[in-house]
Amino acid sequence: MNAPTSRSDLARARRIVVKVGSSSLTGADGRLDVAALRDLVSVLATARRAGRQVVLVSSGAIAAGLGPLGLGRPRDLATAQATASVGQGLLVARYTAAFAEHDLTVGQVLLTAGDLIRRQHYANAQRALERLLALGVVPVVNENDTVATDEVRFGDNDRLAALVSHLARADALVLLTDVDGLYDGPPSQPGTRLVPEVTSPADLAAVEVTGRGSDIGTGGMVTKLDAASIATGSGIPVVLTSAPNASRALAGDDVGTWFAVTGRRTSARRLWLAHAAQIRGRLHIDAGAARAVTDGKRSLLAAGVTGLDGEFEAGDAVELVGPDGVVARGLVAYGSAELPAMLGKSSAQLREDGDALPRAVVHRDDLAQVHRRALAR
């Protein structure tokens, strides 16, 4: 179908990614709330019976592992990994049992950030998801926390859900959390008001968000706005609301916050680069180079690079900073050790220096423009 252009259109969305956060699946003791999980499953089962396809991105592995291990919220990565390893099996067992009551089968899909950058891994994950959906299965996706490292991990599942929406070519993304929508300030502050829809950056101008989530969640509203920006910028509208509103959100009712589409589907690689890649350094570029990589969508040549910050290797992601700020992100072809000797030099000068075949510092295929954030961070 064409992307839903209004909230009520959401009722027609055939393929939907629903993301539920830890905060919606846990009780006051921070452990898994099985009743909340079953309520959500019942809503999703109704959508399946109506012929809709659902991909569930569910957090909660760490929360589910706390009880059996007798632990509080882990602070270090290794304990979080171990807890997620114990909890993920239990979480999926709960989903399997709950969906089985509705005669539905689930398939576990664990992804790392790396699976969404490497072309082959991406295509592979895409094929698997398509086949699961064709078989009538409900894929239950989570980050593969047990093997994700601090450098290459999402940490929160919001941005993962946005990239999964792209991967699954979803018609819509529904983000379920513990607040009923986006507020113009942290909802704990008295007087803050719900923002019913975001159709342009102006709607976010007066919104204050924090990265602090609930006690159990990760990323707070910041990562949800990032997710909304990724999805809407890629042609997929988003509804953000609380888990108890899931049924009404899927029916296109007036709940939560509606984020309208802001752009068209783009390549997964560019999407990754623009929104999720771990930035290792910065290249400072002159005004001409900034114009070339933005307006002209041309490669960045050494002649336009005036300086650099950070330590990076060839192939790492870096930010390109023009005279007015960040203009793009790209995968750099040279490491930070080689680049200083190349700055400002033309290809002819680089050849004289002994580089027989000088490459672009960032090839245009490896560039993603950074628009003045459609949705502010």
Question: In the 8-state DSSP scheme, what is residue 277?
Answer: P
Residue 41 CB partners (closer than 8 Å, separation 6+): 95, 98, 99, 101, 102
Q: Which of 40, 70, 73, 34 is nearest to 218 (CA)?
A: 73
182 binds, among ligand ADP, ligand VHF, none (CB under 5 to 8 A by kind): ligand ADP
Q: State yes or no: 219 annotated in a binding site.
A: yes
Q: In the complex, what is the shortest distance from the CB of residue 254 to ligand ADP, in angstroms, rounded to a whole number?
A: 18
Is 185 a binder of ligand ADP (CB under 6 A)? yes
In the set 107, 186, 196, 335, which binds ligand ADP (CB under 6 A)? Answer: 186
Q: Decide: 333 and 301 in contact? Cβ < 8 Å.
A: no
Within 65-104, which residues bind ligand VHF (CB under 6 A)?
84
Tokens of 218: 């990760």
Q: Where are the alpha helices (DSSP H) in 183-253?
A: 220-232, 246-250
Is 217 a binder of ligand VHF (CB under 6 A)? yes
Is 22 a binder of ligand ADP (CB under 6 A)? yes
At 224, the amino acid letter reads K
In the set 53, 81, 142, 229, which binds ligand VHF (CB under 6 A)? Answer: 142
In the set 7, 13, 21, 168, which binds ligand VHF (CB under 6 A)? Answer: 21
* Backbone dihedral angles phi then psi of residue 368, each to the nearest 5 degrees: -130, 130
69 or 341: whose CB is closer to ligand VHF?
69
Question: In the 8-state DSSP scheme, what is residue 101?
Answer: T
Using CB under 6 A, which of the segments 126-134, 181-189, 215-223, 367-375 binds ligand VHF?
A: 215-223
Sheet holding 197-198, edge to edge: 106-111, 138-143, 53-58, 15-20, 172-177, 238-242, 257-259, 197-198
142 binds, among ligand VHF, ligand ADP, none (CB under 5 to 8 A by kind): ligand VHF
CA distance 199 to 334: 40
Q: Where are the alpha helices (DSSP H) in the chain?
A: 22-25, 34-49, 61-69, 77-100, 113-117, 119-134, 158-167, 220-232, 246-250, 268-275, 287-294, 347-352
x/- map, 62-81, ligand ADP, by CB under 6 A: --------------------
Q: Is 191 left (phi over 0), alpha (psi -120 to 50) or beta?
A: left
Q: Which of 202, 200, 238, 246 is nearest to 221 (CA)?
A: 238
Is 17 a binder of ligand ADP (CB under 6 A)? no
In the set 112, 157, 262, 336, which binds ligand VHF (CB under 6 A)? Answer: 157
Q: State yes or no: 218 annotated in a binding site.
A: yes
Using CB under 6 A, which of the segments 118-126, 181-189, 245-253, 334-342 binds ligand ADP?
A: 181-189
233 binds, among ligand ADP, ligand VHF, none (CB under 5 to 8 A by kind): none
Q: State yes or no: 178 annotated in a binding site.
A: yes
Using CB under 6 A, which of the segments 95-103, 153-161, 255-263, 315-323 binds ligand VHF?
A: 153-161
CA distance 178 to 181: 9
For the packed helices 34-49 and 77-100, what is the interaxial angle rounded to 10 degrees?
Answer: 50
173 or 179: whose CB is closer to ligand ADP?
179
Is 226 a binder of ligand VHF (CB under 6 A)? no
Is 156 a binder of ligand VHF (CB under 6 A)? yes
Helix (H, G, I), strand (E, B) or coil at 128: helix
Is 179 a binder of ligand ADP (CB under 6 A)? yes
218 or 336: whose CB is closer to ligand VHF?
218
The residues of the shown chain that bind ligand ADP, judged by CB under 6 A, are 21-24, 177-179, 182-183, 185-187, 207, 209-210, 213-214, 217-221
Q: Report the binding-site residues for substrate.
A: 59, 145, 157
Q: Report the binding-site residues.
A: 19, 59, 145, 157, 177-178, 218-224
The residues of the shown chain that bind ligand VHF, judged by CB under 6 A, are 21-23, 59-62, 84, 142-143, 145, 156-158, 213, 217-219
